[in-house]
Amino acid sequence: MKFSIDWLKEFVPVPLKVLELSHRLTMQGLEVEHIEGEGEKAVFTLGITPNRGDCLSLLGLAREVSALQGKPLVLKPKIPPKGQTPIKNFLKVSIPDRKGCPRYMARVVQGVRIGPSPDWMQKRLASVGLKAINNVVDCTNYVMWELGQPLHAFDYRFLKEGRIVVRPEPRPFKFVTLDGVERACLPSDLFICDGEGPVALAGIMGGANSEVRDDTETVVLEAAYFDPKRIHATSKRLQLTSESSRRFERGVDPNNTANALHRLTALIVETAGGTPSQDWTDIYPKKSVPRKMMLSPGEVKRILGVSLSPKEIKKTLSLLGLNGSIPTFRPDISRAIDLVEEVARLHGYDKIPETLPKIGMNLPIQPREAFAKEITAETLTGLGYTECCHLSFTSPKKTVPFTRSLTPRENHEESGSSWVTLSNPLSEEHTILRPVLISSLLDALAFNQHRQRKDIRFFELKKIFCEGKEPLHLGMAATGEEWPQQWGLKPKKIDLFSIKGALSQLARALRLDGLGFEQESFDFLVPTASCSVLFQGEKIGWMGLIDSAVLKSWEIEGDVFAAEIDWEPLSLGSESVALRYKPLSKYPFIERDIALVVDNSLTVQKTEQSIWAMDNGWIKKVQLFDLFKGENLPRDKKSLAFNIRYASFERTLTNEEVNEAHQRLITHLEREIGAILRK
Amino acid sequence: MNKEELLAKIESLRTEANGALAALDSLVSLQEFKVRFLGKKGLLTDILKSLSLLGPEERPIVGEAANRAKTEIESRLESLRKNLDQKERSRLQSQKQVDVSLPGLKLPRGFRHPLSLVEKEIESIFVNMGFSVFEGPDIESDYYNFEALNFPADHPAREMQDTFYIGPRTMDQGQRTQEKVHGPWSMVHGPLLLRTHTSPVQIRTMEKQKPPIYMICPGAVYRHDDDVTHSPMFHQVEGLMVDRHLTFGDLKGVLTLFCQTIFGKKLKTRFRPSFFPFVEPGAEVDISCVLCAGKGCRVCGGDGWLEILGAGMVHPAVLEQVKIDPKKFTGFAFGMGVERIAMLKYGIDDIRLFYQSDMRFLEQF
C-alpha cells in the first residue's frame, strides 16, 4: 500500500518528520518497506499484513497515524450531493444472493463527459502506482484509495432492462472481464447481472460488456459489500487479483459504503460533470453493528507480563476508536486477545521488559535417530565425503534410470505410479519429489566436473518420498583419485572398495557387526561391478559402478562409484547395540603369513570362511594383505596372501604348537578349497 | 716385584694408556681399550693382583698410585666416549635431515554442509535451554499446515505462504484432484501439500503431549517461490513453549538470549508488531545488523536492522484446537530460516549456493 504525505494530510495532521513517521509506523506494525521522495511529496510503501484490510486506505492509515500521535481520528461525515431524477426511473436492483452481498448501493449520474481526469488527480494516482484511465474510472480508484471502499462504474446503456441482479450463474460460464481475458467461472462465483446476464465479476473486476467508454453519458455507480470468503475463493481460483478484490477479501467496512458513494458522486460531478439521480438505492437488510467486547487488565498482565492500569488500557484502545465495542471497520478484532495485541502495539513492544521464564527442570529429548545421524555425517566427512543438501524436487527423466530396476513391479512402465507428483510444480525439472538420492548426487558430480573438479566424493543423508513414506536414505558417490596428488604417496584411483570401505567403517562407527555385500545386477550399474547391500540379512540398497550410458546423460566423465541405502535400519540397529567390553589377553600372539593359490572363481569371503572354519580357538585375526593374478600363475588362478594371528587366552603358545596348527590349517585348506601353498 | 718396580710399571702403564687413548677413534676401539687396560684380565688388574706380594706399609702407597692411574684413565675414557657418542649421533642425525617446509601428508577429508552446522548450533542452544527436538513429515495435510494453525479457509493469510500441492498435474490450478496419489498418506485432514513451515509439528506435538511443552522442530519447508533470496525449498527451526505463566516478556527474553548466543553478546534485538495467524500478539524480530552493527549498510538496507525471526504468543484458538485450556496456559512460538541465519553468519549472498553442491563453496566450511 502506497501513500504520499500530502494526501494523508487531508485526513490527519502530520507534524512528524518523514524518518520519524516511518520508524513509528514500523514499530506500530505497519512496516515501511520503502520511501521515495522527501517532505510533503514523500511516498511511503507499506507492507500491510493480511489481517489489516482497513489499512489499505488513507482513512485507515490516518487512524493509525493519529493514534501514534496520541489522538483518536475525528472525521466529518460526507454530505450526499443533490440530484434530480428519482433512481427508480433508471434502475431496479435485486439481490437473490443475500449471503454473498449483504449490502448494495447504487446511484446514477446522467450527462457525464468522459475525458482525462484533472492533473492533480492523475499525479496522485500515479504516485501510488495507479494508472490513469478516464475521469470516471479514476474517480472510483481515487475514492477507493481514500476510503478503502472498492467502487465500480457501469455504462448505463449496456445494462439490459435497467436492472441489476446480484446472483451466481447456475452453470459454469465463460465471462470476459474488462482486461479482455476470458475467465472460466463456476456456480460458486458471484456476479453482478443485468436483465440478461453477468456484467461484472462481483467485487473483483467489471465485465468488458458494460465498461465505461469514451462516449458514455450515463453511469451507474456501485458501492457494495461482498462476502470476503466468496471473493477470495473466486479470485484465487481464477488467479485474478485486483485492488478491489484485495480489499474485499480482507474485509471492508459495510458501514462506510454510503460515505464512499457520496464522495464518489461528488467527485465525478466535479471532474466529469453531469447530474446525479435524486436519490440512491441502498439494500442493506441486516445492518452490521459494532460488537461489544471487554478486556480485563488481568488478561493484559497475563499475556504481556506488564501491569497497565484500567485507565491506561482504556485510553490506549480509545486512540483506535475501540471504546468498549469494535467498530465495523475492524473485522480482524474478534476476541479479547486481539485487543491485547492492540494494547501491546500502541503501548510499544519495546516498552515490554525482557524476562526469562521460570521453568521446572526437564530432560530435553531428541529424535531417536539424531545420534546415529551425527555419527554417520561425522564418520563420512572424516573419510573424505562431503555432505550435500539438495532440493527434494526432481523430474521423472532423472529418476527413471534408477527406479526401473528398483521397483519390485513386473511392469516397468508403471514404476512412476509410486512417485509423489506436484500438482503445481515450478518447472519441468521439479515435477516430482525424489524417490532416490542418486540422481541428485550425479547432478552434484556433474556440476563440479563441469567446473574442473576431478576428485569428488559426496554423501547425502536425506528423506526420500515413496509410497506414502518419507524414509531417510544415505546416498554416496565418488569419482577421481583416492587422495590429492602429493609427494611421498603414490596415486590411487577411487574404486568400488573405496565405497565399500567407507560403508564398512560407517557400520563400525555405528557399533554394528557389519554389512553384507552380494553380487547383484541393476540396470544402471555395470553388471560386473555391482552388488546389493545387506544388513542383518535384509537387502537395504545397492552399491556399484554407474553404467557409462547413465553417466553420459549427465555428461559425467570417468568412473563413478556409488551406493544408496535405506539408512533407517542402520540407525535402529545401532540403537539396540549394548556395548560390552571384552577382556584383554594377557598372553602374546604369534603371527604367520600364508600365500594360497586358488581358483579365480573362489571368493575371498569363502576362503576366509574356510580359514575360520578350522579354528581351534587360536585364530584371532585373518587379514588379507595381498592379491595378485598373472605372472607365472595359471590364467584361472589367483594368489591370496593372509596374515594369521594365533593366540590363546589361557597361556602363552609355543612356536612349535603354532607351527603344528598352521601346518594343519594348510592341509585343511588344500583339502577343502583346493588351495595350493605358494612357496 | 718390589714397590719401586710396581710404581714404575704403573707409571709406564699410565703413559702407554694415555698414548693409546689419543689414538682411539671409534666406540669399538674404545671398548677394546677398556678390556685391555681396565678389564678383569686387563693390565691394571694384573698390577693390582701383585699388591699382595708387598708389605703392609708399601701396599697403600702402591695401591693409591694404581687407583689414581685407574681413575685418570677412566675419566679420560669417559670423556672420549661422550665425544665419540656425540659424533656418532650427529652422523646419524645428518642422515635424517628433512626440509620441514615440505607439505604434510594430505589425507582426503570431507566437509559438513553449512546448513547442518548452523542447524546444529541453533539446536544446541535451545536444547541447552531445556527445549526438546521433534520432527514431522514434509508432506502434510491442509489441516496441520493451515487449519489447526488458525489460518482461516478462503482468507488471504494463506497466500502469505504459496503452497505446493500434491496430486496429478492440472492445468487449472483451482481444480485439484487427489484421488489416487498418496497411498498411505492420510487424506483425512484435507488436501495434501508440502508443508510451508514446520509449525504443523507444534500441533502434532501438542495433540500428544500436555503442557509444559518446550520444543523446537527443525526441518525442510517448501514455498512456491524461486529467486536469489528465495528457494522453493528451505529449512526452518520453529520453537514452541507452552506452560502456565509464560508472557510476551518471556518471549522477548528467550529470543534475545538466543540471538545474542548465536550472533554475539553485543547484538541488539528489536520486536515489532506483525501478523501470523497462529500467534497473537504477533511479532517480527529484528537484530542489529551483523555487518555494520546498526550503522546502516547494503546488507541491512540502510536502517541498521535485519529481520531474523517471526514470533508471537500462541493464539488461544490454536490451544483450543489441541484441547489445551487457553485460560490456564499461555505460550509463545517462534520460527526462523536456517538459510537466512547461515547467510548472515557467513556473509553468503545467494541462497542457491546451498543446494548446488559446488565444492568450492562447501570446502569453505
pLDDT band at residue B7 using 50, 70 and 90 as cut-offs: confident
What percent of chain B stands above pLDDT 90?
54
Task: Say which of B131, B133, B270 has its CB closest to residue A367.
Answer: B133
A57: phi then psi, degrees, rounded to nearest 5: -155, 155
The chain A residue lying nearest B177, using CA atoms, is A423
Give yes or no for residue B173 having a pLDDT over 60: no
Per mean pLDDT, which range of A213-217, A503-507, A611-615 is the poorest? A611-615
HSE-CB of A86 using CA atoms within 13 angstroms: 3
C-alpha cell at A123: 499525479
Residue B79 has φ and ψ, to the nearest 5°, of -65, -35
A20-29, A416-425, A478-487, A637-646: range with lowest mean pLDDT:
A416-425
Specify whether A240 is located in the same domain as A328.
Answer: no
Contact A468 B176 (CB under 8 A): no
Whether the predicted pLDDT of B74 surpasses 60: yes
Which one of A18, A341, A426 would you mutate to disrupt binding with B, by most B Cβ within 10 Å of its Cβ?
A341
pLDDT tops 80 at residue A647: yes
Q: Please tell me whether residues A498 and A413 are part of one structural domain.
A: yes
Q: Mean pLDDT across the stretch B20-27?
A: 83
pLDDT interval class at B43 (50, 70, 90)? confident
Does A167 share its domain with A274?
Answer: yes
Taking only the tens place, the pLDDT of each residue in A556-587 is 999 999 999 999 999 999 999 998 998 888 99
Has residue A363 been placed in a domain? Answer: no
> Which of A590-604, B71-85, B184-198 has the least mean pLDDT?
B184-198
Rounded Cα–Cα distance for residues B71 and B76 (Å)? 8
Residue B175 above 70 pLDDT? Answer: no
Mean pLDDT of all residues in A463-476? 92
DSSP string covering B185-246: S--TTSSEEE-SSSTHHHHHHHHH-PSPEEEEEEEEEE-S--SSS--SEEEEEEEEEEETT-
Give the model's confidence band at B188: pLDDT under 50 very low, under 70 low, under 90 confident, else very high. low
DSSP A120: H
Q: Where are the beta strands (DSSP E) in A37-117?
A: 43-47, 92-94, 103-110
Amino acid A333: pLDDT = 94
Is residue A357 domain-resident?
A: no
Q: Which long-range contacts (CB under 8 A, 24 or more apart) does A648-653 make?
A: A648/A585, A648/A587, A648/A617, A648/A618, A649/A583, A649/A585, A649/A586, A649/A587, A650/A587, A651/A587, A652/A587, A652/A588, A653/A587, A653/A590, A653/A618
Q: Are residues A386 and A484 in the same domain?
A: yes
**Banded model confidence at residue A514, pLDDT cuts 50, 70, 90:** confident
The answer to whether B166 contacts A421, with C-beta atoms less than 8 Å apart, is: yes
Same domain, A492 and A622: no
Min distance A569 CA to chain B CA atoms (Å): 18
| Domain-ending residue, one of A283, A310, A336 | A283
Is A584 an 8 Å CB contact of chain B?
A: no
A185 bridge partner residues: A173
Q: Compare all CA atoms of chain A with the CA of B126 and give the residue at the minimum distance.
A: A364
- Judged against a pLDDT cut of 60, whether residue A407 lies above it is answered with no
pLDDT tier at B172, thresholds 50, 70, 90? very low
Mean pLDDT on B66-82:
87
pLDDT of A58 over the 60 cut: yes
Report, as an integer, the average pLDDT of A636-655. 93
Looking at the structure, do residues A412 and A552 belong to the same domain, yes or no?
yes
Dihedral sign computed on CA atoms, order A11, A15, A16, A17: positive
Cα-based distances in Å from B111 to A377, A379, A451, A676: 9, 11, 18, 47
Indicate whether A551 and A629 sit together in one domain.
no
For chain A, how many structural domains are there in total?
5
Same domain? A147 vs A263: yes
Closest residue on chain A to B127 (Cα): A364
CA distance to A240, A417, B16, B165, B166, per residue, from B171 (Å):
16, 20, 115, 13, 14
Residue range A88-131, pLDDT digits in tens: 999 999 999 999 999 999 999 999 999 999 999 999 999 999 99
Is the pLDDT at B171 greater than 90, yes or no? no
Cα-based distances in Å from A549 to A401, A544, A555, B253: 10, 14, 10, 58
Distance, in Å, from the CA atom of A148 to the CA atom of A331, rounded to the nearest integer, reads 14
The alpha carbon torsion through B298, B300, B303, B308 (nearest 10 deg) reads 180
Q: A431 exposed, middle or buried (CB, 10 Å; 0-12, 13-18, 19+)?
A: buried
Q: What is the pLDDT of residue B187?
A: 57
C-alpha–C-alpha distance, residues A296 and A302, integer Å: 10
Lowest mean per-residue pLDDT among A194-198, A389-393, A630-634, B47-51? B47-51
CATH of the domain at A208: 3.50.40.10
User: How are beta strands A538-546 and A31-36 bridged, if at all?
Assistant: unpaired
Determine the pLDDT at residue A177: 93
With respect to residue A61, please indicate whether it lies within any of the assigned structural domains: yes
A-interface mutation test, from B111, B117, B126, B154, most A Cβ less than 10 A away: B154
Take residue A212 and report the three cell numbers written for it.
465505461
Q: Is A78 inside a domain boundary?
A: no
CA distance A514 to A506: 9
> What is the domain range of residue A598?
590-677
A626 in a structural domain? yes
The CA distance from B237 to A619, in Å, is 53
What is the pLDDT at residue B176? 42
Residue A583 belongs to a domain = no
- Residue ending a domain, among A575, A608, A633, is A575
Task: Summarize the confidence of residues B227-255 as an average pLDDT.
Answer: 94
A26 touches chain B (CB under 8 A): yes
Give the whole-angstrom CA distance, residue B276 versus residue A136.
38
Q: Does A395 touch chain B (CB under 8 A)?
A: no
| Subunit contact A357:B246, Cβ cutoff 8 A | yes
Q: What percent of chain A has pLDDT over 90?
A: 87
pLDDT > 80? residue B115: yes
Q: Are residues A607 and A568 in the same domain?
A: no
Q: Which of A307-321, A575-589, B4-18, B137-151 has the lowest mean pLDDT?
A: B4-18
The residues, ordered by sequence, that sit 6+ positions from B74 with a Cβ below 8 Å of its Cβ are B38
When CB atoms are compared, the residue of A345, A359, A447 closest to B130 is A359
In the predicted model, is pLDDT for residue A591 greater than 50?
yes
- pLDDT at residue B195, as a whole number: 95
Gap between the Cα atoms of A88 and A90, Å rounded = 5
Identify whether residues A563 and A656 lie together within a single domain.
no
Question: Poorest-confidence range of B33-47, B101-115, B239-253, B349-363?
Answer: B33-47
pLDDT score of B183 = 46
pLDDT tens-digit series, residues A515-558: 999 999 999 999 999 999 999 999 999 999 999 999 999 999 99
Query: Is A366 near chain B, with CB under 8 Å?
Result: yes
Residues of chain A positioned with their CB less than 8 A from the CB of B170: 423-424
CA distance A231 to chain B (A): 9
Q: What is the pLDDT of residue B33?
A: 85
Average predicted confidence (pLDDT) for chain B: 88
Chain A residue with CA closest to B187: the answer is A468
pLDDT of amino acid A416: 59
Quick one: CA torsion of B245, B250, B251, B257, rounded to 10 degrees? -150
Q: CA nearest A600: which of A630, A621, A571?
A: A630
**Is A386 close to B359, i.e. CB distance below 8 A?**
yes
Domains and CATH numbers, chain B: 3-92 (no CATH), 114-137+196-362 (3.30.930.10)
CATH number at residue A468: 3.30.930.10
Residues A239, B246: C-beta atoms closer than 8 Å: no
Distance from CA of A355 to the nearest CA of B (A): 5
Q: Is beta strand B132-133 parallel, antiparallel or unpaired with respect to B213-222?
A: parallel
Q: Inspect the interface and report whether the beta carbons of B275 and A50 lie closer than 8 Å.
A: yes
Last residue of a domain, one of A234, A259, A283: A283
Q: A18 CA to chain B: closest CA distance, Å?
A: 14
- A667 with A609, same domain: the answer is yes
Is residue A467 situated within a structural domain?
yes
What is the rounded distance in angstroms from the CA atom of residue B157 to the CA atom of residue B152?
Answer: 8
ipTM of this predicted structure: 0.89
Tell me, what's the pLDDT at B177?
A: 44
| B360 contacts on A by Cβ (under 8 Å) | 451
What pLDDT does B3 receive? 80
B105, B255, B278, B359: best to mutate for the A interface, most A CBs within 10 A = B359
A420 touches chain B (CB under 8 A): yes
CB distance from A493 to chain B under 8 Å?
A: no
Same domain, A497 and A417: yes
In a domain, A252, yes or no: yes
Look at chain A and count its residues: 679
Least confident of A87-101, A495-509, A574-588, B112-126: A574-588
Query: Smallest Cβ distance to A426: which of B154, B176, B224?
Result: B224
What is the rounded CA–CA span in Å between residue A475 and residue A541? Answer: 10
> B139 CB contacts (<8 Å, ≥6 apart)?
A420, A433, A465, A470, B166, B182, B185, B192, B193, B194, B195
Residue A654 neighbours by CB under 8 Å, 6+ apart = none
CB-neighbour burial class of residue B109 (10 A; exposed 0-12, middle 13-18, buried 19+): middle
Q: Write out chain B residues lying below 8 Å of A29, CB-based.
A: 272-275
CATH number for position A15: 3.30.56.10
The answer to whether residue A408 scores a pLDDT higher than 70 is no
- Residue B169's pLDDT is 67
Chain B residue numbers touching A49 (CB-CB < 8 A)? 274-275
Mean pLDDT score across all residues of chain A: 93
Read off the pLDDT of residues A273-326 as tens digits, 9 standing for 90 and up. 999 999 999 999 999 999 999 899 999 999 999 999 999 999 999 999 998 899
Mutate to test the interface with B, among A99, A375, A420, A457 (most CBs of B within 10 A): A420
Rounded to an integer, what distance in angstroms lies between the CA atom of residue B313 and that of residue B281? 6
| Residue B153: predicted pLDDT | 81
CATH for A595: 3.30.70.380
Contacts of A679 by beta carbon, 8 Å cutoff, 6+ apart: none
B191 pLDDT band, cuts 50/70/90, is confident
In the prediction, which pLDDT does B39 show?
84
